[in-house]
Chain A
Amino acid sequence: MLRADRLTKVYQSGGRPLTVLNEVSLSVEPGGFLAVVGPSGCGKTTLLGLLAGLDTPTSGSVILDGNDLGRMSEDERARLRAEEVGFVFQTFQLIPTLTAQENVQVPIELGAQRHRGTEARDGAAARALELLERVGLAGREHHYPSQLSGGEQQRVAIARAFANEPKILFADEPTGNLDRANGQRIVELLGQLNREMGTTLVLVTHDQELAAQAGSILRLRDGRVVA
């Protein structure tokens, strides 16, 4: 499903090169669950960005569902994300001007450019409602992000992540901004959706307990795989 080969990322920092990722390779099977762990600043987030095609590596390659990201343009990668990738962020990243339901609809509508029309749109709305119900937010679909608690916002974000039925889901410290109980709920939710929908899951966290639920774990330190 996902394979990375000797990924290296070098940033220019104050005029000097800074190697954030150094020859990291990994692979995840379809339906698999990989946790990337490590202390802050070890390059976790950079790796996630490269794997999802948000950024381009200095060297190395990423094959996502058979697509070599290095050979795709920015817009092609965007299209790939719209159709096959889901995201959950540490800071939720809901669009503040859209209601919960509209936020969930965004990926559907971004992916649905080839089958537009009222029918598709009604479908999107129905699907968004269904997803919100699944994450336990039935009845809150017309709330704006600012009217929701942190845990609720993250559940909306998860509903959004699954909205386009992604083949692979990237989660970046999804519980980092939540308290214990809410964090636990989110992890359970992710695991449940992973099982039910067969979505490949890549989770970045510094939380060992959380990582323990993954099928495989990749440990990073100073931009290198340590185990």
Chain B
Amino acid sequence: MTRLRFLVAMAWRETRASRRRLLLFASAISLGVAALVAIGSFTANLQTALRRETRTLLGADLAWSSARPFSDAVEAVLDSARAAGIGVVRRTLFSSVGYVRRIEGRSRLVEVRAVGPEFPFYGEVVTSPAGLWDALDTGRVAIVDTALLVALDAEIGDTLELGRGRFRIAATVSDVPGHMMGGINAFGAQAYIPERFVGETGLIVFGSRVSYQALFRFPGANEAARFERSHTRLLDSERLRSYTTDDAESDITESLEQMSQFLQFVSLIALLLGGIGVASGVGAFLAGKLETIAVLRCLGARRALVFAIYLTQAVALGVVAAVAGAAAGVLVQLMLPRLLSDLLPVTVQVSLEPEVILSGIGIGAVVAVLFALRPLLEVRLVSPLEAIRKDYEAAPRRPRDPLRLVAGGLLLIGVFAITMGRHDDPKIGLGYAGAIIGSVVALTAAARIAIWIARRLTSGRVRARWPYVVRQGIANLHRPRNQTRAVVTSLGFGVSLLAALYLIQANFLRQILRATTESASRPNIVFVDIQRDQVADVLSRAESTAHGAMQVVPMVPMRIHSVNGRDVPTLLRDTTGRRPLRWTVRREYRSTWRDTLVPTERLVQGAWWEGDGSAEAVTSGGTRVYPVSLSTDVATDLKVTLGDTIVWNVQGLHVATRITSLREVDWASFQPNFFAVFPTAALASAPTTWVLLMRIEDARERALLQRRLAEAHPNVIAFDVAVIARTIDRIFSRIAIAVRFMAALSLTTGALVLLGAVAAGRLQRIREGALLKALGATRRKLSRILLSEYVALGVLASVVGIGLATATAWAFTKFVMEMPFSLPAGPLLAVFASVVVLVAVVGLTASREVFRRTAMEVLRDM
């Protein structure tokens, strides 16, 4: 007992005069814990809220949707449901170009959501002015997204023209239940109109993309599932998509989980990098304690006791840092719902999640101790002799310590245990652990390499050419017991997050915007759903403003009827490896006909047909079989190759084809690309809509043409590349908020590790500074030396971070997004410069003491 008391007392006393410094080392852990606790708790709160409000997500208990108008069979089911007391309401989604007549030259792509009188069954619609949702039941009104008013420069009370329909804008709306069920046009601003006026708009014509939906409300629990089950066959034969509240909930919780897992993954890496900072700080702290330890040993303390004293300190430190982190995490959790209220589909009530908090504290403390273990082990090896030896004598070579390996092993096991404990599926847990360890290893390896290169570049002859202050500053990075690697690693991680996010976003947007920026001949506006009798008029109206050639592409909607003589149900029942992926046989194909290849595709197998393809069409068993060309990706998923036959259902008529070529398609281009391309002979007489692609330089002229076409041909939908880019940018920036937050957190962790490193090397730095002053260095020179040191440190961290980010972003762009990669130098330089400035400012501020102390210190025993 007295032994234990001595141990604790010693451990406590031993931290005198360095408690603040020790806490600084440990604070690198706190941030990681704070992030884990905040994210974990908030996710748990959000899930609770979602579970409570799950019906709001759908606005109903069950929803069916179809790309075609409901058949008589479906209508009959709806009627009998109504008769059985089940609430049924319709919703129809389609696109339009909306405008207000009194405002010249403006129009905006709209996703029209036509809803029946009882919609939504659940949840509340918030309109502004308030309480006007019911106006849809009685008047010829529209309730619209605020973005639409802004885009049209319109006001409440204006008349919105949608096709031939005219609607008084009664209110704006921010949050309508039921948005969890598929929209059809992500680029359109939303406008709600009464369902009964759909026909009047005249917007639903051949080729229009429409989602017909029926929403149900059941009087009792579990009835939705029963109702769904009893209509499985109908759903299948009618190609209806059925959506329950569970689907809506799992959809959103899945994306929530993914986001949360990604954020926690980043937090864990930040935590581990903080751990490296702790290890490095503890190592430096102990290096200053060697004499004390030797004295303790001289006085008769046994190795185990000495080790226990410092281990106790490490445990206490880890717990304090983790508890502080958890407290900060809870504070953030309390603020999150208010900050994110606009983005969340439900109202989140904050409650403490003890499990999350305790596990955060546990993880933080364990990580701190495990990382501190390796430097701590050195304590055991300090010989009592060192107390009487002078420090200039080279420290005796310490024997290789097998326990260091054990400590490393414990660390690995710890990481695995933590990630496995957080995921139910051991495979995913292993994957995350692997990814975390891989990231940390990659970061430390990159840091090592960069430091090694820096050392090579600044030694010997090369170094001799540089100004003295720079040489001295860079040499400082290699001072004994330096923490350059820990600082570069942790800062590098923050930089890499920031830069990778930026690179991926920039490459994606650049690809989209290529049309407006890169080449003057690429189209920047597209009109779709042009009917056969509208083509000539649309072209003549467009001609005057067009810059360069206009491109008119026919489009024929169709489905697959059979492949190699087997129809779709048979294909899907196939149990051998030849079963096609579901999407390939269920989807509606929009195919084109043409007799040449376009620049965005490349023939990789087979041969293109001659002329209009009629020469190559063969007659077998009384039907004409035409050649067809598929894109490689759809051919792979459809499990077909050259020579296979596909029969297409083109608006009820069967068209038989044989695959004669495969194309590789660059989908990322802003061009109409097709899974299946037919020869002219096969489709020229099929029901067709046309797409017009053109380039109009002037944004105002682009808007004018859209408006003129909207008035003359309301069913023709315009996609302006600028609008699309803006939408994608907005979606990106929502994700970006989270990633930027984590990047800021990692950078702060890095800054804390840097502060810890400066604090750890404090005495050495002051001594060096005093020495240089004694040798005649002015404060200006000293500051330049320190500046060079921190600038070099910042450069190293930026190089490591940007290098890794470039590699990651390149791989992601190339293999996941399958787009060409480019490196935007300007913004990366800005990231580079700001990190260098950050490091220099933090470093110099933390080193103020070096300037303040007099040169006299060098003569004193320090």
A complexed with B? yes
Q: Which residues of A contact B (CB under 8 A)?
A: 45, 48-49, 52-55, 74-75, 78-83, 85, 87, 89, 91-93, 95-98, 102, 105-107, 109-111, 113, 116, 118, 121, 125, 146, 150, 153, 160, 164, 172, 177
Q: Is the CB of A85 within 8 A of B776?
A: yes
Residue-wise interface mask of B (743-767) relative to A, using a CB-CB cutoff of 8 A (1 in contact, 0 not): 0000000000000000000000001
Q: Given A121-B464, A125-B464, A150-B393, are A54 and B773 neighbors across the interface (CB < 8 Å)? A: yes
Q: Shortest Cβ distance from A31 into chain B, in angstroms?
A: 21
Kindly report which residue of chain A lies nearest to residue B468, judged by CB atoms: A109
What is the CA–CA distance of A48 and B855 in the complex, to the nearest angstrom? Answer: 12
Q: Is the CB of A146 within 8 A of B480?
A: yes
Which residues of chain B are within 8 angstroms of A110 by Cβ–Cβ distance? Answer: 468, 772, 775-777, 781
Q: Shortest Cβ distance from A2 into chain B, in angstroms?
A: 16
Task: Pick the contact of B772: A52, A96, A106, A177 (CB < 8 A).
Answer: A106
Q: Is the CB of A116 within 8 A of B776?
A: no
| Number of B positions contacting A (CB below 8 A) | 37
What is the CA–CA distance of A146 and B60 in the complex, to the nearest angstrom? Answer: 77
Q: Is the CB of B779 within 8 A of A81?
A: no
Q: Which residues of B contact A (CB under 8 A)?
A: 390, 392-394, 464-465, 467-468, 471-472, 475-480, 767-768, 770-781, 854-856, 858-861
Q: Is the CB of A82 within 8 A of B776?
A: yes
Which residues of chain A are within 8 angstroms of B858 by Cβ–Cβ distance? Answer: 54, 89, 93
Q: Is the CB of A55 within 8 A of B855?
A: yes
Q: Shortest Cβ distance from A105 into chain B, in angstroms?
A: 8
Q: Given A92-B392, A95-B768, are A106 and B774 neighbors across the interface (CB < 8 Å)? A: no
Which residues of chain A are within 8 angstroms of B465 by Cβ–Cβ distance? Answer: 118, 121
Kindly report which residue of chain B lies nearest to residue A204, judged by CB atoms: B859
Which residues of chain B are within 8 angstroms of A75 by Cβ–Cβ distance? Answer: 778-780
What is the CA–CA distance of A195 and B849 in the complex, to the nearest angstrom? Answer: 40
Kindly report which residue of chain B lies nearest to residue A86, judged by CB atoms: B775
What is the CA–CA distance of A107 and B781 in the complex, to the nearest angstrom? Answer: 12
Q: Shortest Cβ distance from B479 into chain A, in angstroms?
A: 5
Q: Is the CB of A54 within 8 A of B854?
A: yes
| Pairs across A and B, CB under 8 Å, 11 listed | A45-B859, A49-B855, A54-B859, A74-B779, A78-B778, A79-B776, A81-B773, A87-B774, A107-B775, A110-B775, A177-B392
What is the CA–CA distance of A54 and B394 in the complex, to the nearest angstrom? Answer: 30
Q: Shortest Cβ distance from B12 into chain A, in angstroms?
A: 24
Which residues of chain B are within 8 angstroms of A87 by Cβ–Cβ distance? Answer: 774-775
Q: Is the CB of A78 within 8 A of B479?
A: no
Kindly report which residue of chain A lies nearest to residue B471, judged by CB atoms: A102
Q: Given A97-B476, A150-B393, are A83 and B776 neighbors across the interface (CB < 8 Å)? A: yes
Q: Is the CB of B771 within 8 A of A93?
A: yes
Kindly report which residue of chain B lies nearest to residue A153, judged by CB atoms: B392
What is the CA–CA distance of A16 and B392 in the complex, to the nearest angstrom? Answer: 35
10 A-B pairs closest in CB distance: A82-B776, A81-B776, A54-B855, A55-B856, A109-B468, A97-B475, A75-B778, A49-B856, A54-B856, A78-B778
What is the CA–CA distance of A92 and B767 in the complex, to the nearest angstrom? Answer: 12
What is the CA–CA distance of A85 and B781 in the complex, to the nearest angstrom? Answer: 18
Which residues of chain B are within 8 angstroms of A153 by Cβ–Cβ distance? Answer: 392
Q: Shortest Cβ distance from A49 into chain B, in angstroms?
A: 4
Which residues of chain A are within 8 angstroms of B390 by Cβ–Cβ distance? Answer: 150, 177
Q: Shortest Cβ distance from B550 into chain A, in angstroms?
A: 65
Task: Pick the contact of A54: B392, B467, B774, B861 (CB < 8 A).
Answer: B774
Q: Given A78-B776, A89-B859, are A96 and B472 neighbors across the interface (CB < 8 Å)? A: no
Kindly report which residue of chain A lies nearest to residue B393, judged by CB atoms: A150
User: Most chain-A CB neighbours within 10 Å: which of B479, B480, B778?
Assistant: B778
What is the CA–CA distance of A117 and B355 in the complex, to the nearest angstrom? Answer: 65
Given contacts A45-B859, A82-B778, 4 further A-B contacts (CB under 8 A): A52-B774, A54-B858, A95-B768, A102-B471
Task: Pick the contact of A95: B771, B856, B860 (CB < 8 A).
Answer: B771
Q: Is the CB of A116 within 8 A of B779?
A: no
Task: Pick the contact of B394: A48, A89, A98, A146 (CB < 8 A).
Answer: A146
What is the CA–CA distance of A45 and B774 in the complex, to the nearest angstrom? Answer: 14
Q: Shortest Cβ distance from B763 into chain A, in angstroms?
A: 13
Which residues of chain B are within 8 angstroms of A109 by Cβ–Cβ distance? Answer: 468
Which residues of chain B are within 8 angstroms of A74 by Cβ–Cβ distance? Answer: 779, 854
Which residues of chain B are within 8 angstroms of A116 by Cβ–Cβ distance? Answer: 467
What is the CA–CA distance of A91 and B472 in the complex, to the nearest angstrom? Answer: 21
Q: Shortest Cβ distance from B313 into chain A, in angstroms?
A: 27
Kindly report which residue of chain B lies nearest to residue A54, judged by CB atoms: B855
Q: Shortest Cβ distance from A8 into chain B, in angstroms?
A: 16
What is the CA–CA distance of A200 and B249 in the complex, to the nearest angstrom? Answer: 88
